[in-house]
Structure 1
Amino acid sequence: MMRIHILSLFYYSRLVLAANPTYNVQSYGAKSDCSKAFLSAWGAACATTAAATIYVPPGRYLLRNAYFSGSLCKNTAITIRIDGTLVAPSDYNAIGNIGSWLKFERVTGVSIYGGTLDGQGTKLWACKNSGNNCPKGATSLAFYNSNNIRINGLVSLNSQMFHILFDGCRNANLANVRVSAPGNSPNTDGIHIHQSSGVTIINSHIATGDDCVSIGPGASNLWIENLGCGPGHGIR
């Protein structure tokens, strides 16, 4: 049954890519710093009202930071299919003071399937643990005031701070998510939920230096099932 289910997902993802308009980030010049290419693909997908796919082929893609705004986006069904790894700058000062590395704001109907986010937080953690004056750090993936979000099969590694954040969101579904950071990495909460409702987290594993799932003020109607936590401070 599991093999049939996996094959069904594989063929479904192929059909989605074939049926919907697809915007390959490499077609927009994703090379050394890929931020502009990713934002150009986002702009193209937002310009149509038809369900669209942004595709990230296998490989490693350096992004300084990227802000995906939904305020002028016509599309409420954008799938981001990631078969590669998105990498933050190794110099933590490049994104350490901006709050979020990959930020989605006022978006509706965004789905992220697969892929790896490498926040490269090791040097910033060492700075913080030394007692020096360091940047606060950036959350790897943040959603603000957004609705109907789906994340499936994403891996988040070594975020500078929080790995995934929902703030002011409605209806988010996370499945088969894996978060990984050492037990001594400071402020690396796996998933933080703030002023959000209808968030579901299932079949996932979080290993981090802070809370596996942190629940802030204004959070309601949450469902967490089959979550592995460790190392980490649990669900708080």
Structure 2
Amino acid sequence: MKILAIEDEPQLLGNIKESLEKENFLVETASDYHSAIDKIFIYEYDCILLDIMLPNGNGLNILAELKKAGKNENVIIISAKDSLDDKLKGLELGADDYLTKPFHLAELNARVKAVLRRQKLDGKDTIEIANSVLDLKERTFMVDRQNIPLNRKEFDILNYFLLNKNRLVTKSALAEHVWGDNSDEADNFDFVYYQIKNLRKKLQSAHADIEIESVYGIGYKLVEK
């Protein structure tokens, strides 16, 4: 899962990034209004952590721009302003949650996981398709109740495919989601190909009733057999 943390306090931003990365999230950062707007409208995120008070602008304006553009990222406001008016305005503009500074990082992690579960899985911690079960909380993958070991990238790739079952996933979208914004600087997508190749072998060996099909020249699609 990919998160954008927008926060102008360097120490807090670093702590948020480190804490969420320990929870196996991919975290990008922005420390001012303009860089945040640039990232939001170039890349896709599963969740945005948004400070209200930013250099060169206001986080609530970013929320308004998201709504105007019809983008549906989950948004959690993180702000020192414990104002009911700000909270209500943020929720009216489409924020999913509101966390007031100072807060414990464990609380932030829990809020992020909660909004992601609500959107993607209707509150569940697992994705079940055919004879396969991916447990997002425990980061395990089971086929016919047998544990199939996956490395971190394989797990994140399979997670993305399962959430986009039967949909075409381009190589660039997959690379950006799993490897981050710097993936667009790569000369080719061989690193995607090798991870897909290994994941396919594991699915085949485990007799999973799902498979990753290639869509020539574009990307991949996960389907049930």
**What TM-score comes out, normalization by structure 2 length?**
0.28
Larger radius of gyration: 2
Which of the pair is proportionally richer in helix? 2
Higher relative contact order (CA 8 A, sep 6+): 2
